[in-house]
Amino acid sequence: ILKTLNSWFWWENIWMPINCTWADFVDRDGLVFPKPHQLYATIPCAFVLLIIRFFSERYVAIPLAKALGIKNVRRVKPQPNPVLESYFRECSRHPSQSEIQGLAKKCNCTVHLVEKWFRRRRNLEIPTVLRKFREAFWRFSFYLTSSIVGFIFLYDKPWFYDIWQTWVGYPFQTLLPSQYWYYMAEIGFYWSLLFTLGIDIKRKASDFMAHVVHHLAAIGLMSGSWCGNYVRLGTLVIFVHDTADFWLEAAKMFNYARWEKTCNMLFIIFSIAFFITRIILFPFWILRATLYQPTYYSTTPVIAYFLFNGMLLTLQGLHLYWGYLIFKILKRFLFLK
């Protein structure tokens, strides 16, 4: 069954134009092509990024937070109590007065001690400002580095200025070393975010699911574009996304430090960058190149055309959802102070 599914998954008509086979993508005459097996390297890359994250948060983010006036608040842990812990996890974090009295009798202690235990236990679930700052610092560091490196990799490429060039010579476009490392780092980063979703700051259910969908869509898109050699377009998609994100993380960092004016200025810059890149450039520049321009090069679109554009449109749906939230915050900020 697995062998059959594998042959179906790698069927040429899914990935590449008519009359092309996987044999055509063997390196030759100075041309180097992306190989699907190279994507295995993104998993070790994710763990390398997690190690870098650990050291950068510990030795850069924490001293920076202290310099900005953020204190490390130590929360008092409640006394170990299996009965109360089980009730907290399985029943309720906010028991009623009658439930507290029942638990007090069961544990042979006072009502005041049970209330105090639940209060301390709930406080442990709330992330400290320092923890939030550390997470924002890591994302800021990666997105800023990725934006700078992406610009260095792309500024001298013709398809950065003329997006029609992304299709010239397709599918036999050689892979550049810069494109290889750009992809490995970016896919590895989103794997690392998935690996740490369970231990990172807990979000509301809707935000949590939006992040899961976003990370999986990003990994699926980049991995698929790698296999189909849509690397030129892929690097543009990555660059368009990362250039707005580091402004948001910077605004969060200064918000946690209570630098209100700096935070507000950074959030306005982020909002402008977000609407330019995600609401204007992405649909009218990137989606135009993936939906409209391929019809000039092939009259019979391959299955990958519909798969990739479906994921890109899903991503655009998330952009509109987040854009709506940003607009609500801006409206409150501008009109309600």
Per-residue pLDDT tens over the stretch 10-54: 887 778 777 788 888 888 888 899 998 999 999 999 999 999 999
CA Rg value for the chain: 25
Per residue in 261-310, pLDDT (tens digit) is 999 999 999 999 999 999 999 999 999 999 888 877 765 667 888 888 88
- Taking the C-alpha atoms of residue 150 and residue 242, their distance in angstroms, rounded to an integer, is 9
- For residues 124-158, one letter each, b for 16 or more C-beta atoms within 10 angstroms of the residue's C-beta and e for the rest, the string is eeeebbbbbbbbbbbbbbbbbebbebbeebbeebe
Q: Which amino acid is at 281?
A: L
- Taking the C-alpha atoms of residue 114 and residue 116, their distance in angstroms, rounded to an integer, is 5
Domain annotation for the chain: domains and CATH numbers: 32-68+128-336 (no CATH), 82-125 (1.10.10.60)
Structure confidence at residue 206 as a pLDDT band (50, 70, 90): low
Check: CB of residue 183 under 8 Å from CB of residue 155.
no
SS3 assignment, position 164: helix
Check: CB of residue 186 under 8 Å from CB of residue 39.
no
Cα-flanking dihedrals φ and ψ of residue 110, to 5°? -80, 160
- Taking the C-alpha atoms of residue 296 and residue 314, their distance in angstroms, rounded to an integer, is 24
Share of the chain above pLDDT 90, in %: 46
pTM of the predicted structure, to 2 decimals: 0.84
Structure confidence at residue 56 as a pLDDT band (50, 70, 90): very high
The two structure tokens encoding residue 269: 């810059």
First to last CA, the chain: 61
Q: Which amino acid is at 173?
A: Q
Cα-flanking dihedrals φ and ψ of residue 227, to 5°? -65, -35
